[in-house]
Amino acid sequence: MEQCSIVIATSARETPVLILGAGPFGLSLAAYLRDIGVDFILAGRPMSFWREHMPSGMLLRSGLGWHLDAQGEATLEAYVGDAGLTEADVMPLSRDRYLDYVAWFSERKGVTPDIAAVEALTLTEDGRFSMLADGDAISARNVVVATGFREHANLPPDVISLLPEGSYGHTCDVVDFARYRDRSVLIVGGRQSAFESAALIAEAGASEVHVVHRHDTPQFVASDWSWVEPLMQRTEREPGWYRSLSDEQRTELNGRFWAEGRRKLEPWLAPRLDRSNVHSWPNERLQATEGQDHRLQVVLSSGAEIAADDVLLATGYSFDLRNLPFLADDLHSRVETRNGFPALDTAMQSSVEGLYFTSMAATQDFGAFFAFTVSVRCSSRLIGDSILIR
């Protein structure tokens, strides 16, 4: 979320709930709170991460079942029907189509952000949360952190140490691929994001696209997410089931989820990569780079050499609570963490009473699927019902 300048306000607006983030998790929770009669303030710019940090032309891997409405009314299926379309007309679902659905959902549920940005969040002596937002002071009994991935872009030190400063960008920061027209682009990474970026960059007119990754190239096989929704239903009935698993069981379950998301490439992507100027380099590592005529001369572990004008890091995201800019130091010190994640109870509440976390921040205690929109409705019910009875 963007920060605003500190302005001293004479009085504070009070709210039972402040939701930080107006992406899928924040909007879904806001709609659910409205449905169950809980007042709130929603902070953020609607779907800003999706609009500004995902490329136009991107296609989603999820189906129509991954909608936002915990009440099951303003669903993706309802949106498609309302538009006079069929599932065949909209699948695979594009980023732009999904954004249109979210706008339709927000209007239908009557949820829009009240404020755009929040400055440092602190905890007062009486146990309330205090913050400045767009220059106004706000006091809240509960705060839900539902921010996106932007602050958690993974920039592997062993890779960027080999690259000249300014020669690379992460996929969340480089989304206008027209900049790559007539240029040679090296993409570091070998999952769906890397290969879809390769297709989009080639389609934007790049001269050469090289995809370098440390593992075998994933197969073009449709992902099967049918088994995930029952896990969400189980989490609503039995919120602590995931944390009760042994380490081995959690590893196996998360491995199954990642096998669908990371060890497969969607079949519709294959023909878009069937180009003479798109090259895949599996089981390779970058060995050295040196500039020549303002180009990178990249040497791979096999000894192959690539000349590139630009490097795009499709290296995913890695959550760390310390990356959240709006949490003041005093609050940071109060939140119990494990491996950089907040330790959450079965209602997704942290060790600080009234401070909740969802989305990627919840994956350690609720499973890898909580980084994906399949979990938004479950998350909304768990947090909303907890707040309702506080």
- Give me the pLDDT at residue 126, please: 86
- Give me the pLDDT at residue 4, please: 34
82 has a pLDDT exceeding 90: yes
Structural domains of the chain ordered from first start: 12-152+317-389 (3.50.50.60), 157-222+266-313 (3.50.50.60)
Residues β-bridged to residue 208: 184
Cβ 5 vs Cβ 76: under 8 Å = no
- Give me the pLDDT at residue 165, please: 84
Grade residue 292 by pLDDT with cuts at 50, 70 and 90: low
φ/ψ of 349, rounded to 5, equals -95, 140
- Give me the pLDDT at residue 290, please: 76
- Give me the pLDDT at residue 294, please: 75
User: Per-residue pLDDT tens for 142-201?
Assistant: 999 999 898 999 999 999 998 888 889 999 999 999 999 999 999 999 999 999 999 999
What pairing do the DSSP bridges indicate for beta strands 129-133 and 136-145? antiparallel
Question: What is the pLDDT averaged over residues 130-144?
Answer: 88
Strand, coil or helix: 378: helix
DSSP string for residues in 287-303: EEEEEETTEEEEEETTS
As a whole number of angstroms, the distance between CA 372 and CA 360 comes to 8
Token pair in block for residue 313: 């890091």
Strand, coil or helix: 193: helix
237 has a pLDDT exceeding 50: yes
User: Per-residue pLDDT tens for 336-354?
Assistant: 999 999 999 999 999 999 9
Alpha-carbon distances of 111 from 19, 78, 257, 261, rounded to whole Å: 12, 18, 32, 31
Choice between 116 and 308, residue whose per-residue pLDDT is larger: 308
Question: What is the pLDDT averaged over residues 83-108?
Answer: 97
Question: What is the pLDDT averaged over residues 378-390?
Answer: 95
As a whole number of angstroms, the distance between CA 305 and CA 154 comes to 25
User: Per-residue pLDDT tens for 40-77?
Assistant: 999 999 999 999 999 999 999 999 999 999 999 999 99
As a whole number of angstroms, the distance between CA 13 and CA 352 comes to 22
Q: Please, what is the average pLDDT of the chain?
A: 92
- Give me the pLDDT at residue 2, please: 37
8 has a pLDDT exceeding 50: no
